[in-house]
Amino acid sequence: GAGVVDAALNHFVATHYQAHHMNWLHCFWGIGATAGPLIMAGVLLDSGWRLGYLVVGALQLVLMIVLIVSLPLWKRAPKQVSEQVQTVNTSSGKPRGLVAALAAFCFYCGVEAVVGLWGSSYLVQVRSFSVTSAATWISVYYGSITAGRFISGFLSLRWSNRRLIRVGQWTAFVGAACFILAPASWMPLGFVLVGLGLAPIYPAMLHETPVRFGEAAAQRLMGVQMAFAYTGSTFMPPLFGWLATSYSLSLFHWFTISLIFLMLVATEGLNRMLFRQRLAKAS
């Protein structure tokens, strides 16, 4: 259910709205991701976990009713897709660069999930942080993603999606390098930088889908991209868990920086491919 909603909603925003809307859409994802555990924590103080699920289920029901009632408004949304969509990657068959784009989505969601799920264990067992301090810095990490997407909404008014992706990836890379190079007291800075760096990447890649592959293919490819994104968040954390169990949890920083580097390579390779395709069509 979440996958269907994710693909459909992102395609709608990518087709009908601008980059800052996409960033703010995913900024509110961060607010919801923060609110869910808070709701459950509050409920557990006085009641069982089942009440927490009932509360979240009731919110989902209200959301469904709002969506149904607002369907006429969706039909009136103006199209904001760039004219560039009509000239890029509209040939039949598998679009050029699709494999690189899917790899970038997989690596992005992989690193986001690995840092969120394994970061606290790394801080406690390798860097000797207290459990409370480690949990706090992981919350700050998710808060950095949320705040970064809010800021990216304003940056997207002046910067292209491609620039946002590139700056975000290099910021995340520097943050991951802090895991390796910085002393323990500076370690939290790495989590903040990784969160801020990751913030604009996912919304910008989604918003670029019609530009990269053409409006006609965007809806179908949005679902495929979602599938590979969920593949990364599903399999990368257990893969690292196996490595940590077999070797050492200290591999966390190398694993993280490797995923970011692979995402960067895939994205830049896709950019070069699309640039050469534009040149060929122009000539």
C-alpha 192/C-alpha 228 separation (Å) is 26
Its pTM surpasses 0.75? yes
Q: What is the tally of structural domains in the chain?
A: 1
H or E segment and range at residue 248: none
Give the C-alpha separation, 213 to 14, whole Å.
Answer: 12
Give how far the C-alpha of residue 50 lies from the chain's centroid of Cα atoms, to the nearest Å.
29
Half-sphere exposure of 128 (CA within 13 A, CB side): 3
What's the start-to-end Cα distance of the chain, in Å? 45
For residue 283, being part of any structural domain is answered with no
Residue 116 placed within a domain: yes
Task: Tell me which residue range forms the domain holding 205.
Answer: 2-71+97-277
Cα 236 off chain centre by: 14
CATH at 64 = 1.20.1250.20
pLDDT along the chain (283 residues), means of 10: 80 83 84 77 80 90 91 77 48 76 96 93 90 84 90 90 94 94 84 94 89 81 89 96 95 96 95 83 72
